[in-house]
Structure 1
């Protein structure tokens, strides 16, 4: 078997921004690029932008040789890891065979693997970030939505069709608010960025002594999780109460996941996780309260600090894994 090059390109395809990196195996990111997605221009335009970024990174690789390309995309990805299926925030995409389209745009027959972006954030954490001490953990990404991944023995657990790990759509109250898929009381409907901001606005609207009123504009119309965090850091008790409320909700869903999976370590990433212990400490307290006694002493929540790098690192790591052990992945 021919040796696999030590470099791969990892792409993080978002609705607003495309990020891509040249990754050296076991070392990390060597070069990184970022471009606006311009998603409103449609899939062909976005794929051309990805191809241009990938080509620029290939030219930076030693001897212009890479093992392949990994792409993290929002939403559902087919079992074969070739196509994205009606991804959110990418209008007009429907079902797109990203592998085929990108190979044609590049004019190269390089291996290309597509995977859900939260799954790749988990894989990146497992090999380069806060997940390295654990061979198995649950990854939660707190951002515009709430993403999830299950890492089992340093690989992505995909379920029966590739859709496992959608923790954001697990319900903690079947009479609660609806998320973007219409699921009542899902954790995303409480602590997704838009939902959390909406709750915080109404919770704090009448608390005129809160610092948030000086930071979020008239009627708190500009409120967001970052403002809540900055106010909490400055000692604002109402802001701290909102973040603690969010942390409690997070702890509830994580306890259900731990009880189901018997996986005891949780890694939390994404932009909202920047609130740190204002969210994570209440989550830890709630998690221990609702996990069965036999598992309680083993549970641990840590924060991932790699940010967007986790997804790109995970995308490149997926290339290395699948080229080295393709049969093992099919059987996982």
Structure 2
């Protein structure tokens, strides 16, 4: 018998939703801009709209529940989301109660967005080949998850794996949480884009100026990737600069956890080898010899699906609350 669940991946830029069949994977999708600057009630209303859209297309058995990934800290009961750095005015929000009231779905379970990406990779993507790996998501922010024996390691309060807030330079730039030199302050989309703008203002020969119509305010990591594929030296150097910093941060995580495989996903990871080859070199250069065997960085190939798949897996694998 077919079994369905709903998966929601709440990001700083967009909300992705999917109806997922346990064996087939994604069978229907819907996406909307987050509009996170309008506060939590507005965002939760948009999530409920996506859920209704997906249910209106569904002819099979009722979904067993709704799983959702969100930025920020999630409590151990998987009910509340606290202080997501890329969403305005959230504080502490009881997402489970709010979404149950808006959708009529009783079984709602919430998890950190990087953790659901890790679960999606572990059960549907690149992580299927590994019992344990570190998941890194590069998007609006930088998230991380620790998958150990095919389960999320959550730490003592549910917040383990926040790689994006690990500092590689205590005198470096601030991320959105105010942490100096955090990796998110180098690889988060807005930070990487702004760093590139500052460098490219003084490099008029770069292809990026043509790609942006000489308006660098429109530059994104996708622009850098496109320029790099055209052989643009400046864009290639910027992506390599970011990749090395990713590798430096990962070296500390690998040394701490003794987990040798890293899976990288999220929109910024679409820069592929231009970003990840320098990250691989930096990682290997900063890990001591005993940890070199099996050391690798892989790119998650499921793209944007990995988050909604992980969220749906959470609904499949957890017990509904009364």
Same fold (TM over 0.5): yes
Return the alpha-carbon distance in structure 2 between the equivalents of residues 57 and 9 of structure 1: 8
Q: 1:41 to 1:187 in 2, by over 3 A?
A: closer
8 Å CA contact 2:10–2:16 kept in 1: the answer is yes
2:192 match: 196
Return the alpha-carbon distance in structure 1 between the equivalents of residues 13 and 218 of structure 2: 19
1:330 match: none
Q: 1:241 to 1:92 in 2, by over 3 A?
A: closer
After superposition, where does 1:221-236 map in structure 2 within 5 Å?
221-236=217-232
The CA deviation at 1:307 is 2.0
Residue-by-residue CA offset, 1:91-126 (whole Å, 9 max, x unaligned): 333222111122222334x21100111111111011
Return the alpha-carbon distance in structure 1 between the equivalents of residues 151 and 53 of structure 2: 29
Match of 1:30 among 18, 24, 27: 27
8 Å CA contact 1:71–1:114 kept in 2: the answer is yes
1:329 match: none
Residue-by-residue CA offset, 1:30-86 (whole Å, 9 max, x unaligned): 111223334455433433332343244345556542211101111111111011112
Return the alpha-carbon distance in structure 1 between the equivalents of residues 2 and 319 of structure 2: 10
The CA deviation at 1:219 is 6.6
Return the alpha-carbon distance in structure 1 between the equivalents of residues 60 and 191 of structure 2: 48
Return the alpha-carbon distance in structure 1 between the equivalents of residues 287 and 139 of structure 2: 25
8 Å CA contact 2:3–2:61 kept in 1: the answer is no
1:11 match: 8
Return the alpha-carbon distance in structure 2 between the equivalents of residues 106 and 189 of structure 1: 36
2:305 match: 309
Which of 264-273 and 92-101 deviates more?
92-101
Return the alpha-carbon distance in structure 1 between the equivalents of residues 203 and 45 of structure 2: 49
8 Å CA contact 1:14–1:73 kept in 2: the answer is yes
After superposition, where does 1:79-228 map in structure 2 within 5 Å?
79-108=76-105, 110-218=106-214, 220-228=216-224
Whether 1:66 and 2:63 are equivalent positions in the alignment is yes
8 Å CA contact 1:205–1:219 kept in 2: the answer is no
8 Å CA contact 1:212–1:231 kept in 2: the answer is yes
Return the alpha-carbon distance in structure 1 between the equivalents of residues 200 and 42 of structure 2: 43
User: Secondary structure of 2:313's match?
Assistant: helix
Q: 1:280 to 1:41 in 2, by over 3 A?
A: closer
8 Å CA contact 1:67–1:111 kept in 2: the answer is yes
User: Secondary structure of 1:121's match?
Assistant: helix
Return the alpha-carbon distance in structure 2 between the equivalents of residues 36 and 87 of structure 1: 17
The CA deviation at 1:233 is 0.4
8 Å CA contact 1:269–1:307 kept in 2: the answer is yes
Query: Normalising by structure 2, what TM-score?
Result: 0.92
8 Å CA contact 1:5–1:67 kept in 2: the answer is no
2:278 match: 282
Return the alpha-carbon distance in structure 2 between the equivalents of residues 234 and 158 of structure 1: 42
| Cα RMSD after superposing both structures | 2.1
Gaps of 5+ in 2: none
User: Secondary structure of 2:144's match?
Assistant: strand
User: Secondary structure of 2:16's match?
Assistant: strand
Q: 1:57 to 1:175 in 2, by over 3 A?
A: same
Query: Normalising by structure 1, what TM-score?
Result: 0.90
Return the alpha-carbon distance in structure 2 between the equivalents of residues 89 and 286 of structure 1: 28
Residue-by-residue CA offset, 1:288-313 (whole Å, 9 max, x unaligned): 11111111121111111222211100
The CA deviation at 1:165 is 0.6
1:257 match: 253
Return the alpha-carbon distance in structure 1 between the equivalents of residues 303 and 265 of structure 2: 7
